[in-house]
Amino acid sequence: MRWKHDLSCVLTGLCIVAVLGLGVWAPVPVASSAASPGLAAGAPPQPRAMLKVSTIQLVGEAGVYAALANGYFEAEGLGVELVPFRAGADITPPLATGELAFASSPLDPSMFNAIQRGIDLKIVGYNAILGPQDRSGGWMVRQDLLDTGRFRDFADLRGMTVSLLSPGGIGQMWVERVLARGGLTLDDVQYVNLAFPDVPVGFANRAVDAAFLVEPFMTVAESQGVARSVLSSGEIYPGLVGMVLFMSPATDPEVGRRFVTAYLRGQRDYYRAIQANEGGRERMIEILLQYTPIREAALLEQMAVHLVEPNGEMDPRTLNELQEYFLRFGSQQQRVDLNRVIDRSYTDYALSRLGRLAP
């Protein structure tokens, strides 16, 4: 595996200038919850608790965004401040210490390692699940390589420079799965370490040839004409849990129950509007415009989206599969018993108040 370390800091600096110049992407300010009409009747009166919650500003966090925008956290006596992060590994330390009360993140080996060291992180929800038709992420190839025929098949990735969010993490799993389609291994390509927001600029500067990317940054790259998806996330790994909701060990359980109740309401708003197509799509698009980097409704309308489980069910299968990858990569030291980590009691409480939703 060969790395190009010198590009990351340069591209990070260029990302804001180049992408903002195209009027598509803008950084999202830290957001807090505010009261709004339509709050849940019968929500118990509680003293207001102020919580910090991580965000990577991905579409997969739609349930959290909807709960904020529609006042569901406020209805539970919670004030929520979103704290932006660039990658899951950066979230683990403040979550472990209680600086963050909750975190929305793809699974990262640092989280499993923290749990193995005795830090009692809990998974209390699945934000995003990849169905077979999922296109909320995908393998993207630079447009000029497609136009010239330099890339026709996955074997053509040999010798190319691939963006990798973090070595030994879930990003490496995506890369490995795609390379295997061309009979290649991790040693057959070069790497540059870039966060998702920097990848479209990497394509534009021809510093990156291919990358696994997620929404909204896929749409950013395609709208700029610098890259195109050639394989969807649902084709690469159907059934994968793309993002989970972690709770800090420092968070009071009663606060956790109220937070997850509001969160599940937000997940259901997304489910009804997007997944079940029962109405409310325009409102959900409006919310995603507010909380993700996309600034054009037409671009959000083009996006294919993830799945959510409206009753908060959590199947541990793909989480255990991810552990296998991390253990093989050497980024996770020991296997974690997910029965210690997945805590269904918070969703059970939410369902006792909200009732089950027939999907």
Q: How confident is the model over 29-67, as pLDDT tens digits?
A: 444 544 333 344 444 545 578 999 999 888 889 999 999
User: Are 103 and 139 part of one and the same domain?
Assistant: no
User: Are 276 and 170 part of one and the same domain?
Assistant: no
- Whether 37 is in a domain gets the answer no
User: Are 189 and 140 part of one and the same domain?
Assistant: yes
Report, as an integer, the average pLDDT of 134-140: 87
Distance separating alpha carbons of residues 22 and 223, to the nearest angstrom: 10
Report, as an integer, the average pLDDT of 271-280: 94
**Domain edge (last residue) among 236, 269, 304:** 236
Distance separating alpha carbons of residues 102 and 51, to the nearest angstrom: 8
Report, as an integer, the average pLDDT of 240-250: 95
Q: At what angle do helices 317-329 and 170-180 cross, to 10 degrees?
A: 90
Q: Is the pTM of this model over 0.85?
A: no
**In this structure, are residues 8 and 193 in contact, taking their beta carbons and an 8 Å threshold?**
yes
Place of tokens 């309308």: 301
- Whether 43 is in a domain gets the answer no
State the pLDDT confidence band at 306, using cuts at 50, 70 and 90: confident
Question: Among positive and negative, which fits the CA dihedral 260, 262, 265, 269?
Answer: negative
- Tell me which of 352 and 13 has the higher pLDDT: 352
Total domains in the chain come to 2
What pLDDT, in 10s, does the model give residues 279-304? 999 999 999 999 988 787 877 776 66
Neighbours of 223 (CB within 10 A): 19
**Domain edge (last residue) among 236, 257, 290:** 236
Neighbours of 250 (CB within 10 A): 13
What pLDDT, in 10s, does the model give residues 65-89? 999 999 999 999 999 999 998 777 7
- Whether 158 is in a domain gets the answer yes
User: Are 245 and 337 part of one and the same domain?
Assistant: yes
Report, as an integer, the average pLDDT of 138-166: 95
Report, as an integer, the average pLDDT of 94-116: 93
Distance separating alpha carbons of residues 114 and 41, to the nearest angstrom: 39
Q: What is the mean pLDDT of the chain?
A: 85
User: Are 83 and 121 part of one and the same domain?
Assistant: yes
User: Are 248 and 347 part of one and the same domain?
Assistant: yes
User: Are 204 and 327 part of one and the same domain?
Assistant: no
Predicted local distance difference test score (pLDDT) of residue 44 = 53
**Domain edge (last residue) among 236, 263, 281:** 236
Distance separating alpha carbons of residues 210 and 140, to the nearest angstrom: 5
Structure tokens at 187: 């040693």
- Whether 34 is in a domain gets the answer no
- Whether 122 is in a domain gets the answer yes
User: Are 139 and 223 part of one and the same domain?
Assistant: yes
Return the C-alpha torsion angle 164, 167, 169, 172, nearest 10: 50
Domain range holding 66? 49-131+240-354
- Whether 94 is in a domain gets the answer yes
- Whether 41 is in a domain gets the answer no
State the pLDDT confidence band at 26, using cuts at 50, 70 and 90: very low
Structure tokens at 286: 């409006």
User: Are 259 and 120 part of one and the same domain?
Assistant: yes
- Tell me which of 265 and 194 has the higher pLDDT: 265
3-class secondary structure per residue, the chain: CEECHHHHHHHHHHHHHHHHHCCCECCCCCCECCCCCCCCCCCCCCCCEEEEEEECCCHHHHHHHHHHHCCHHHHCCEEEEEEECCCHHHHHHHHHHCCCCEEEECCCHHHHHHHHCCCCCEEEEEEEECCCCCCCEEEEEEHHHHHCCCCCCHHHHCCCEEECCCCCCHHHHHHHHHHHCCCCCHHHCEEECCCHHHHHHHHHCCCCCEEEEECCHHHHHHHHCCEEEEEEHHHHCCCCEEEEEEECCCCCHHHHHHHHHHHHHHHHHHHHHHHCCCCCHHHHHHHHHHHCCECCHHHHHHCCCCECCCCCCCCCHHHHHHHHHHHHHCCCCCCCCHHHCECCHHHHHHHHHHCCCCC
User: Are 280 and 329 part of one and the same domain?
Assistant: yes
State the pLDDT confidence band at 14, using cuts at 50, 70 and 90: very low
Predicted local distance difference test score (pLDDT) of residue 356 = 97
User: Are 341 and 301 part of one and the same domain?
Assistant: yes
**In this structure, are residues 173 and 142 in contact, taking their beta carbons and an 8 Å threshold?**
no
The mean-pLDDT minimum among 14-28, 43-57, 94-108, 199-213 falls in: 14-28
Predicted local distance difference test score (pLDDT) of residue 46 = 54
- Tell me which of 17 and 161 has the higher pLDDT: 161
CATH of residue 302 = 3.40.190.10
Which residue type does 74 have? E
- Whether 30 is in a domain gets the answer no
User: Are 117 and 151 part of one and the same domain?
Assistant: no
Greatest extent of the chain over all pairs of C-alpha atoms, in Å = 63
Structure tokens at 115: 């749990």
pLDDT at 96 over 70: yes
Predicted local distance difference test score (pLDDT) of residue 47 = 56
> Residue 287: is it exposed, middle or buried by C-beta count within 10 angstroms (0-12/13-18/19+)?
buried
pLDDT at 21 over 50: no
State the pLDDT confidence band at 19, using cuts at 50, 70 and 90: very low
